[in-house]
Amino acid sequence: MNLILFEPAETSAPLPRTDARATHILTVLRRVVGDTFDCGLINGPRGKAMLAAVSPTALTLTFGWDTTPPPAAAPITLILGLPRPQTARDLLRDTTTLGVAALHFVITEKADRNYASSSLWSSGEWRRHLIIGAEQAFDTHLPSVTHGQALTAVLATLPPAATRLVLDNYESPAALSTCHLLSDKPIVAALGPERGWSATERDVFRAHGFTFAHLGSRVLRAETAALATVTLLRAKLGLM
């Protein structure tokens, strides 16, 4: 954890010794009473926390917050064909670390619909992976996330002015690196599941004004393709 994140309600109560953050503070950061460490409020400011007291059951912390907010999230939204749960965990964590505004995991024709009922989603575990990603990046912003919706339902919610790109190895005329992007417009990039988009889904993207692009001739894993896409988009926006 490069930055330890807290929910607002947690800052007014002791941190249980059983919490992974307490273990990190004491055994990894090796803080003792009176020491400070970097912290943040989820979707809020960064600051410093001081270890005020240690008991057998809890840590008492005090907080001071910076007046300068952290940089805003990059204006990038990803639409992702719902992958197997372990791949989704990697995507949640690593795209948050790179920095995106939103993630939509959609039901697709070629993906296993049972992935939508995984305990990753039903238990709320997915949010923990966002927090891990943000802590790694020394950021407090968590992307907004939806999962298990139909592709058409998500497309209907997109901002009209967004630049719309769909990644596809089969029918894309140009590489993503050659696409022209406007820095003052949000970007939506859609990546299919492991088996790719169906012909029907390609037609849906065309009807919603998406430009087709590819990442080259090599076939990438879903998580690799997503990270490569976000990296290229951030670079073209001057964010890297």
**pLDDT tens per residue, range 136-153:** 999 999 999 999 999 999
Between CA 33 and CA 158 the distance in angstroms is 49
- pLDDT score recorded for residue 70: 80
Q: Mean pLDDT across the chain, nearest whole number?
A: 93
E-assigned strand segments in the chain: 4-6, 15-16, 36-41, 46-54, 58-65, 76-81, 102-107, 144-150, 163-167, 187-191, 211-213
Domain boundaries, the chain: 4-65, 76-236
Q: What is the pLDDT of residues 70-85, one digit of tens each?
A: 888 889 999 999 999 9
- CATH topology identical between 4-65 and 76-236: no
pTM of the predicted model, to two decimals? 0.92
Q: Class assignment of domain 76-236?
A: alpha beta
User: Cα-flanking dihedrals φ and ψ of residue 87, to 5°?
Assistant: -65, -40
- 25-29, 61-65, 191-195: segment of lowest average pLDDT: 191-195
SS3 23: helix
pLDDT at 64: 96
- DSSP annotation of 10: G
- Domain 4-65 adopts which CATH fold? Ribosomal Protein L25; Chain P (2.40.240)
